[in-house]
Amino acid sequence: MFCKATLLTVALGLMASATPITTKQGVSIPLGKRSTLQNEDGTFNYDKAVIQTVNTINKHRANLINLEKNVGAHVFKAGAFIKDLVTLPAHLIKRQAESLTDEEDDLEWAGTISIGTPGQNFLIDFDTGSSDLWVPSSSCTSSTCRSKSKYTASKSSTGAKKSGSFSIQYGDGSTVSGPVYTDTVAVAGVSVTKQSFSPVTTLSSSFSGDPIDGILGLAYPAISNLNANPYFNTAIEQGAVKEGVFGFKLASTGSELYLGGTNDELYSGSIEYHDIDTSTGFWQLTGAKALVGGKAVVSNFETIIDSGTTIMYGPPAAVKTFYKAISGSAVYDSDQGYYSYPCDSPPTVAFSWGGKQWTISADNFSLGETSSGSGKCVGALAGQDIGLGSNVWLLGDSFMKNVYTAFSFDQDAVGFAALA
C-alpha cells in the first residue's frame, strides 16, 4: 500500500531474524505487526486517517490509469472514473515530510525479499491492491532514500536494464519514479528470474521515517504500471510454486504471508471460495452483502480485497444506509465520510458473498473514540468515492484481520476461512 508508516520493533527485526518456514508445499513469510488508526489514549487519529484516505484514492487512481492503458476503459465498472490527483492539506504535507518514527506504527504488513545475484535485501510491504515491485535505487536523489536499503545494479550479475519507466504520484505532490529493470527476486524460498521491477531514483516524502523500502504488488497484471507480470504470476509461470495460491493471516500476532498454497495450521474448517471478475485487475468479488445484527442492510455490491488499505470504504449513499441500521450512529465527519456509534453497544457487522457471514470483531470495527471519554467510537467503514465504481466497496485490514484470506490465481477466486 502506498502510505506513510513505521512498523513496530518486531517488524524491524525481520531483516535479520525472519527465516522462511517451509510447511507442507508452500513457504511461510512472517509479517510485521500493524495496529490501528488510534492514538495512544485510544482516540481516533483523524490526521492519519486523512493521509490514509488520500493515499488510497491516489493508489487506485494510478491503478485505473494503468488499467486503461493496458486493457482499455471499456472494462471499467459502472461509475468508475480516473479521479483528479487528490492532494493533502498543507499541514499534513508538512507532517508527512517529518520523521515521525514514534507515531507512525500502523499502516503496513512487511516482510523481507532479496533482489539480484548475490541477493540484496529489502523490507517490503506486500499489497494485494497493486501489481508492481519497486525499491530504492543506489542512484536515488531524494533525501527520503538516505535511510533505505538501495538496489545497486552493478552489483548484480543477473540484472538488466529495460526500456520504459515507472512513476506514481502522491498527495503531497511528490512521486516515486525510476527506470525498469529485470533481475532475480526471492521471497523466502520462492525465487524467480527476470522479474520486472523499478529501482526508483525519486522517492516520495510520504515514505520519510517509514522503515519499509518498497512495495511488492500481488494483484493482476492488468493494473501494472510496468505492464508486466507481477512477482507471484512470474512464480507461477516459472513453476517456483506448486499452487497459484497465496494466503494471508493479518493479526496482532502471528501475521503471515504464505506462498504456494494455504497454511491450514492458521485456519479451521474449509476455505469458502468465491469467483472474481478478472477483467478489472483487482481481487474483486461480486454479490456481496453487508449485514448489521445478522440482517442484510446493503446487498448485491462488489468488493475489492486490499491488504494495502487499512480500513473499509463504500459509496457514500450505501454507507449512509449501512449506518442507519446502527442504533445511535451519527455522522462524525461528512468530508471524509466517517460515522460514529456508541462504544458501549458496538454493532455486529458482517459481510457475506452467498455463504457464511464473516463477522468483524468489535475491536476491528472501532477506529477509536472521537475524543477521550466521549463514549462515541468511529467506525472502520467510511463513505468515500474512491473512483472504482458506483457499486464497488474496498475492504482492507479492518475486514481481513477477522478471517484467513486465500487468493487463488488457479481458480480466479478469493476465499475466506475462520481463524484457528
Active-site positions?
127, 306
H/E element holding 96? helix 90-97
DSSP 207: G
Helical residues (DSSP H) of 223-342, grouped into ranges: 231-237, 316-324
**Cβ 139 vs Cβ 152: under 8 Å:** no
Q: Which of 307, 249, 306, 239 is nearest to 28 (CA)?
A: 249
| Placement of cell 514514534 in the chain | 102
**8 Å CB contact between 271 and 416:** yes
User: What phi, psi does 310 have (nearest 5°)?
Assistant: -75, -45
Q: Quick check: 394 and 80 in contact, CB under 8 A? A: no
How far is the CA of 177 from the CAs of 111, 203, 214, 392, in angstroms?
22, 7, 12, 29
Q: State the amino acid at position 187 in one-letter form.
A: V
Q: Which helix (H) or strand (E) segment is 9 a member of?
A: helix 9-12
> Using an 8 Å Cβ cutoff, are 270 and 288 in contact?
no
Distances (CA, A) of 385 to 75, 153, 279, 337: 18, 40, 21, 9
131-137-143 Cα angle (round to 5): 110
Nearest CA among 185, 247, 205 for reference residue 26: 247
Strand partners, 27: 22, 259
Count of CB atoms within 10 A of residue 236's CB? Answer: 18
For residue 64, give the amino acid letter: L
Q: State the first-to-last Cα distance of the chain, in angstroms, to the nearest integer.
A: 27
The alpha-helical segments, DSSP class H, found in 197-260 are 231-237
Phi, psi of 406 (to 5 degrees): -115, 135
Q: Which residue has the cell 512477482?
A: 231
Three cell numbers written together for 306: 486490499
Helix (H) or strand (E) holding 388: none
